[in-house]
Amino acid sequence: MAQILSPLPGTFYRAPAPDKPPYKTDGDPVAVGDVIGLIEVMKSFHEVKSEAAGSNIRFVVGNEEPVMAGAVLAEME
């Protein structure tokens, strides 16, 4: 099982904006380079990209939850 980790401490967002659909939902396939969410640090947003391909992504962290650098955001097969 592969994990996608937070590159920075901040707030994790699963969608590009509150009125937009999430980048990925549980069960989606993921390709290398796919954006799975954003980390917000002091009003600056950083894309979180997958460094591995996989299937059946499952988010461990909820939308708008604070995370630390290195925290597991999602797992995939």
CATH number where 24 lies? 2.40.50.100
Give the Cα separation of 13 and 66 in Å (integer).
9
Number of structural domains the chain divides into:
1
pLDDT single digits (tens) 15-65? 999 999 999 999 999 999 999 999 999 999 999 999 999 999 999 999 999
What pLDDT sits at residue 1?
A: 87
Closest CA to 72 of 2, 4, 1: 4
pTM of the model: 0.93
Structural domain for 30, as ranges: 2-76
pLDDT of the residue at 15: 97
Q: In Å, what is the CA distance from 77 to each residue of 17, 44, 47, 55, 68?
A: 27, 31, 21, 5, 23
Q: What are phi and psi of 7, to 5 degrees?
A: -80, -20
